[in-house]
Amino acid sequence: MGRKYFGTDGIRGRTNAGVMTATTAMKVGQAAGTYFQRGDHRHRVVIGKDTRLSGYMLENAMTAGFTSVGMDVVLVGPMPTPAVALLTREMRADVGVMISASHNPYEDNGIKLFGPDGFKLSDEDELAIEALIDQELALAASEDVGRARRIEDARGRYIHAVKASLPHNVRLDGLRIVVDCANGAAYHVAPSALWELGAEVIAIGVEPNGKNINAGVGSTHLDALKTKVREVRADIGIALDGDADRLIVVDERSQTVDGDQIMALIGSRMADLGALRGGGVVATVMSNLGLERFLAGRGLELVRTAVGDRNVLEHMREHGYNVGGEQSGHMILIDHATTGDGTIAALQVLAALVASGKPASETLHLFDPVPQLLKNVRFAGGKPLEAESVKAVIAEAEAELAGKGRLVIRPSGTEPVIRVMAEGDDARQVADVVERICDAVRRAA
């Protein structure tokens, strides 16, 4: 069935337009509060947010929604998404809420929900809540209206948990680190955690004003980080996104280290330490073939899922893996966090750097990515992938790449776009294959 509110990662949209309004936020609070009031204990929700201007509006609206159906609210202010997941579980809350649109510009915002175990909700839970949003729900009696309180030590609790992900004997003394917090949710906690572990920290993207989140900084805009790494001659640069669940790294030469290289590093190091479960790493269909070949050379498997960190996490939980992620920088280390956590992943990278005693440029680039090209084809309507002419061109391309590369073609889940990705050892062949398929889709559309 189609969904009116929830997408692939919670509810997201442009503020004060469509679904992302104060009215909707209040209704989501009422619906989620009603759904999660199970048992006879006093019910509680943890609400966090990133640094967007609209966060104040949506936080207050959701507080009104939850308290109106009798649920107590704990407000933690600007905090990373994984911190909200952690605090939801540690505070024995019934539900957690993160108000954020992740790496999107400030004009957008979103609502992510976590269950009492700190994991994102299942499809079944989201559908059940969505069914309640537009209903007239029973409000609490006057004497049962919920209370709201703000806790002041949320940052300290999260910093402690982040540091606990490393052995006590691991210190970052002697490392000069530039950390880019995207003017987002980790602007305080990430630099603090690194400093407490002994690093010399140069922080950028730590002056949020409500409108500058992800604006020219963060994991999707690396130029500022690369410039600062060169300027201060740092050993490494760390880039987070607006809600700090993504990580992209820059070495001392300002070369980018994406999620695939990070997974290769963390996965292989954990295998060496006997700590890797599942016999490999879980990633998506978008991860580079070079990662798959590197892991295979180490006797490890790369398991691929559909795009989306939630799909990665579901496979990890179902099949017993403890390392997974996406090329875009979502790193899921399930031994330490219930969702992607850029700061915890960064500490694992830094621990590997310290253990190697080598520069980041030698430590973090473990394989050569094969040429990979992604193009989007926008279409007006219909189902171009079902056209026989398109199927024929795709079959021809798959035969050409057999044994030498991969082809991934998928419709976008949010817009009328077909995404065409190919990769292989021959860059010219990859470009030719992608262009031929795109032309066929355009003609069919």
Task: Name the residue among 421, 403, 125 with its Cα closest to residue 284.
Answer: 421
pLDDT of the residue at 110: 96
- Which portions of the chain are predicted below pLDDT 70? 1-2, 413-414
What pLDDT is stored for residue 3 in this prediction?
81
Distances from the Cα of 337 to the Cαs of 83, 119, 375, 434, in angstroms? 9, 9, 33, 37
Q: Tell me, yes or no, if the two domains 11-152 and 158-363 fold the same way.
A: yes
Q: Is 102 a catalytic residue?
A: yes
Burial class (CB in 10 A: 0-12, 13-18, 19+), 402: exposed
Q: CB–CB of 146/46 below 8 Å?
A: no
Instruction: Return the structure tokens found at 189.
Output: 């906690």
pLDDT score for 416: 85
Select the CATH number that applies to the domain covering 11-152 from these four: 3.40.120.10, 2.30.38.10, 3.40.50.2300, 3.40.50.360: 3.40.120.10
- Catalytic residue (one of 54, 102, 219, 328): 102
User: What pTM was estimated for this model as a whole?
Assistant: 0.93
The pLDDT of residue 414: 65
Note the pLDDT of residue 2: 61
Which tokens in the block code for residue 15? 């503020």
Give the right CATH number for 158-363 from 3.40.50.150, 3.30.465.10, 3.40.120.10, 3.40.50.10860.
Answer: 3.40.120.10
The whole-number pLDDT of residue 253 equals 98
Q: How far apart are CA 300 and CA 20, in angstroms?
A: 43
| Tens digits of residue pLDDT in 138-186 | 999 999 999 999 999 999 999 999 999 999 999 999 999 999 999 999 9
CATH number assigned to the domain with residue range 372-444, chosen from the 4 options 3.50.50.60, 1.10.10.10, 3.30.310.50, 2.40.70.10: 3.30.310.50
Residue ranges of the domains in the chain? 11-152, 158-363, 372-444
Q: At which residue do the structure tokens 């308290």 appear?
A: 67
Distance between CA atoms of residues 402 and 228, nearest Å = 43
Contact 183, 206 (CB under 8 A): yes
Exposure string over 86-103, b if 16+ CB within 10 A, otherwise e:
bbbbebebbbbbbbbbbb
Question: How far is C-alpha 30 from the chain's CA centre?
Answer: 26
